[in-house]
């Protein structure tokens, strides 16, 4: 049996007089969706069309299909706090005039206007009702522009909208930076906004389609709007900061961060999460698992690229075999000094019972400062901290003794934080004291003697298909703090530089 879907859109217009001096115009758009089954070559059954008698703003209500893909629609929904989007205006269906657009969009509450260009999708979220003719929008501090690129979104805030007889215009400092001209199907975007949105330069261009969605289920409280839009702003600021990061005084070309922790603590997942944030979509480059034995058996040095085919950032995450409380299982303690010095090559296959030696074919005998580890992150599952065995605590202290003897800075990265929405303060810049006073935090601080500001919390991406801006903030904030610790280390490096480079001892190196 074969199934097919037939969609037909019929648009028609009647015009007839009701009297000698008066004419009335009825415009109707009908959307027909019919599902039929072919049981035999000459037989088909279809559901007959039943017109909706209801009219709205002079137009018959109708079923319309958005051009947004499922993924892009989900991105916009999540951006505004898991809301629903209801399509009620489509330029290819309704009349292409500013009056008609305003008539359809008036008094709909908060809306998202989406404009489909040949090579990109741009738009604006307006908090509150559409502006009235020749009146500016009053909620510009809670509205924003956006662009969609694959599964990545970029937002620019502070939207001031105004409608005149020809266009819907958006202002910044009394200058039009974005305008929509429906009767010409044209859009104008100022060059400065295009740079911020990350789209290809053009002055004005015809768009393929314009759609307006009503945002349903959004909290009308401005504090809520400020927080959800603030999440995106803060996330974008972190991304911009990390994209522009350079190691202190250019002493090294890139920073190496070593991830150490028990099996299943989230070391490989953290790398995957960092890469996902910069790629703009979920990635699973590093194999992850929660088995009792380590999934990671090779030493991996992962580069981080900014977007597909983008440049590599000066940051590398070094993933190791998991620590185990038993001797002869998991990462060999004698491998750690070699890793810290930069002697262990990428893809070295760990042997829990035999450390690497200088006889290994690709052993790096003369590592440069950029090969060395500049920060160590102890990765632990926050849910397992209170149940750490005495043997595992002893293993951590053994590892820490090696690292402290080398002077490498340390942070603790706590993963699998389920209540991650409560981690940060309202402005996202610091952790809530209610989180830092938790028993797990206090135990890690006591065990590893690490300051509270270097105990970081994240919820890694695991099974998700879509990104969460708040998760991104935690992931990016953790990475930034690791880089700050590495920079502090590099700042102190010149005073010890010659001594460290000449030091022959593997237990006292960078």
Residue 318 has pLDDT above 60, yes or no: yes
Average pLDDT (365-387) is 94
Measure Cα distances from 301 to 170, 278, 466 in Å.
46, 17, 26
In angstroms, the CA 492 to CA 289 distance is 38
With bands split at pLDDT 50, 70 and 90, how would you rate the model's confidence at 341? very high
Range of lowest pLDDT (96-110, 279-293, 360-374)? 279-293
Cβ-contact 89, 105 below 8 angstroms = yes
Element (H, E) at 154: strand 152-157
Residue 499 has pLDDT above 90, yes or no: no
Q: How far is CA 233 from the centre of its chain?
A: 12
Radius of gyration of the chain (CA): 29
Q: Label the pairing between strands 410-415 and 375-381.
A: parallel
With bands split at pLDDT 50, 70 and 90, how would you rate the model's confidence at 321? very high
Q: Could you tell me which residue, 10 or 374, shows the higher pLDDT?
A: 374
* pLDDT of 495: 55
Paired with 189 in beta bridges are 178
What the block records as the tokens of 440 is 């797990």
In angstroms, the CA 161 to CA 138 distance is 8
With bands split at pLDDT 50, 70 and 90, how would you rate the model's confidence at 214? very high
In angstroms, the CA 65 to CA 458 distance is 38
Highest mean pLDDT among 123-132, 140-149, 277-286, 330-339: 330-339
Q: Specify the residue for token string 């750490």.
A: 388
Instruction: Tell me the whole-structure pTM to 2 decimals.
Output: 0.68
Closest CA to 58 of 111, 116, 97, 8: 97
* Total Cβ atoms within 10 A of residue 116: 19
Cβ-contact 414, 442 below 8 angstroms = no
* pLDDT of 252: 93
Helix (H, G, I), strand (E, B) or coil at 162: strand
Percentage of residues of the chain with pLDDT beyond 70: 76
Cβ-contact 137, 178 below 8 angstroms = no
Q: Could you tell me which residue, 507 or 287, shows the higher pLDDT?
A: 287
With bands split at pLDDT 50, 70 and 90, how would you rate the model's confidence at 126? confident
With bands split at pLDDT 50, 70 and 90, how would you rate the model's confidence at 146? confident
With bands split at pLDDT 50, 70 and 90, how would you rate the model's confidence at 139? low
* pLDDT of 171: 80
* Total Cβ atoms within 10 A of residue 181: 18
> pLDDT tens digit string along 447-488?
999 999 999 999 999 888 778 888 999 999 999 999 999 999
In angstroms, the CA 357 to CA 349 distance is 12
In angstroms, the CA 377 to CA 318 distance is 10
């Amino acid at each position: 049996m074969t199934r097919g879907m037939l969609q037909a859109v019929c648009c028609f217009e009647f015009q007839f007089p009701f009297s000698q001096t008066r004419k009335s115009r009825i415009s109707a758009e009908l959307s027909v969706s019919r599902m039929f089954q072919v049981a035999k070559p000459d037989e088909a059954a279809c559901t007959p069309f039943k017109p909706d008698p209801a009219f709205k703003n002079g137009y018959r209500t109708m079923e319309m299909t958005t051009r947004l893909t499922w993924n892009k629609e989900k991105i916009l929904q999540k951006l505004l706090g898991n809301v629903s989007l209801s399509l009620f205006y489509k330029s290819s269906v309704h009349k292409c005039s500013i009056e008609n657009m305003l008539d359809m969009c008036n008094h709909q509450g908060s809306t998202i206007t989406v404009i489909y260009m040949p090579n990109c999708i741009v738009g604006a979220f307006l908090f509150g009702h559409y502006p009235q003719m020749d009146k500016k929008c009053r909620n510009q501090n809670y509205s924003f522009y956006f662009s969609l690129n694959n599964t990545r979104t970029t937002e620019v805030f502070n939207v001031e909208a105004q409608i005149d007889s020809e266009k819907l215009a958006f202002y910044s400092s009394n200058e039009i930076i974005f305008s929509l001209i429906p009767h010409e199907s044209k859009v104008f975007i100022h060059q400065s906004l295009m740079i911020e949105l990350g789209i290809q330069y053009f002055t004005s261009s015809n768009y393929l389609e314009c759609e307006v969605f009503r945002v349903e289920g959004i909290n009308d409280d401005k504090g809520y709007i400020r927080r959800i839009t603030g999440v995106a702003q803060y996330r974008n600021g972190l991304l911009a900061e990390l994209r522009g990061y350079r190691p202190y005084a250019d002493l090294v070309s890139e920073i190496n961060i070593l991830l150490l922790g028990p099996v299943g603590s989230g070391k490989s997942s953290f790398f995957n999460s960092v890469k996902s944030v910069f790629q703009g979509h979920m990635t699973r480059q590093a194999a992850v698992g929660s088995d009792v034995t380590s999934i990671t058996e090779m030493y991996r040095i992962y580069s981080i690229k900014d977007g597909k085919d983008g440049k590599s950032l000066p940051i590398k995450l070094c993933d190791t075999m998991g620590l185990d409380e038993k001797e002869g299982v998991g990462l060999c303690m004698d491998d750690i000094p070699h890793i810290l010095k930069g002697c262990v090559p990428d893809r070295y296959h760990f042997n829990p019972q035999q450390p690497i030696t200088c006889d290994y074919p690709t052993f790096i005998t003369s590592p440069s400062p950029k090969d060395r580890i500049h920060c160590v992150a102890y990765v632990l599952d926050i849910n397992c901290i209170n149940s750490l065995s005495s043997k595992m605590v002893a293993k951590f202290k053994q590892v820490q003794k090696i690292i402290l003897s080398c002077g490498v800075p340390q942070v603790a990265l706590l993963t699998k934080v389920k209540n991650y929405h409560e981690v940060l303060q309202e402005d996202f810049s610091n952790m809530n004291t209610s989180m830092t006073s938790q028993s797990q935090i206090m135990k890690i601080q006591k065990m590893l003697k690490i300051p509270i500001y270097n105990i970081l919390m994240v919820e890694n991406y695991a099974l998700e298909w879509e990104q969460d801006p708040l998760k991104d903030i935690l992931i990016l904030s953790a990475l930034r703090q690791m880089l700050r610790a590495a920079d502090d280390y590099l700042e102190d490096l010149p005073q010890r530089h010659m001594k460290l480079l000449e030091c022959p001892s593997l237990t006292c190196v960078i």
